[in-house]
Amino acid sequence: MSQAKSALKLEPAVEAQPLTEQVVRSAAVSPLPVRIPPLIPGVLPVVPVPTGIPLARPRRDNNGTNFQARVPVVTGEATFRGSMSVDGTISGQLGANGSAMVIRQRPHCVGSEPELTGEIQFKDMLRINGHIAGKVTSQKGTLIVDGSALVDGDIDVGAVVISGTVNGDVIAQERVELGAAAIINGNISTRMLTMKPGAIFQGDCRMLKNETSAE
């Protein structure tokens, strides 16, 4: 009977230590399999990741949520009335008291279909990076047409710097600057016009009178 009692005798209690420390110490001392203490109810076990095994990379979803978004068609603050075609994802909130929306579109070739179709109004500065169709207006603002941009419509702003293509009339109260790759198919009305060698301008040019000049 004494032998049976000794066989059922419990081992002395060992002070509990964090699981991660026990795993690291055991692996460094002995190559034997690591002994993991029993699970504690309500606590998830921490399983160490073996070294030398690369982690799996996240997959690209078929619905297009992980694609590389292109540069927005318009950069800056503006008021837009019209339609917009989206080939990508839209996130945010649209409401009567205000809206904040983020649009991520897939890359595409400029010149196929307009990304914005309608009227754009802005105050300070606006940059066009893609293909838009419609009128762009601003009383004193500066418009920048990127080299990869295409504007199918009229422009009526304070100043404009064009490096892309504009199919329409351009009115700038202060100045018009045409870059080396600029293509203008329309008339230009401004107080000051500068053109770099290589720019293409097909239309008529009318120089506006300076408001401060004597009549």
DSSP type of residue 67: S
Q: Could you list the residue range(s) of the whole structural domain that residue 158 is in? A: 74-84+111-207
Per the domain annotation, does 148 fall within a domain? yes
Q: CA-CA distance, 169 to 100, in Å (whole number)?
A: 32
Q: Is 21 helix (H, G, I), strand (E, B) or coil?
A: helix
Percent of the chain at pLDDT > 70 equals: 57
Per the domain annotation, does 37 fall within a domain? no
**In whole angstroms, how far apart are CA 156 and each of 73, 80, 112, 114?**
19, 15, 25, 19
Q: CA-CA distance, 95 to 93, in Å (whole number)?
A: 7
- The model's pTM: 0.63
Per the domain annotation, does 100 fall within a domain? no
Instruction: List, for residues 73-116, the tens digit of each pLDDT value.
Output: 888 888 888 887 777 677 777 676 666 777 676 665 554 688 89
Number of domains in the chain: 1
Q: CA-CA distance, 122 to 116, in Å (whole number)?
A: 15
Q: Is 100 helix (H, G, I), strand (E, B) or coil?
A: strand
Contact 211/194 with Cβ under 8 angstroms? no
DSSP result, 101-166: EEEEE----TTSS-SEEEEEE-SSEEEE-SEEEEEEE-SS-EEEE-TT-EEES-EEEEEEEESSEE
In this predicted structure, the answer to whether residue 215 has a pLDDT above a threshold of 50 is no
User: Measured between alpha carbons, how far apart are the two ends of the chain, in Å?
Assistant: 127
Per the domain annotation, does 25 fall within a domain? no
Per the domain annotation, does 124 fall within a domain? yes
Between 28 and 201, the higher pLDDT residue: 201
Segment 12-36 shows an average pLDDT of: 50
Q: CA-CA distance, 125 to 138, in Å (whole number)?
A: 9
Question: For residue 75, what are its two tokens?
Answer: 């950069």
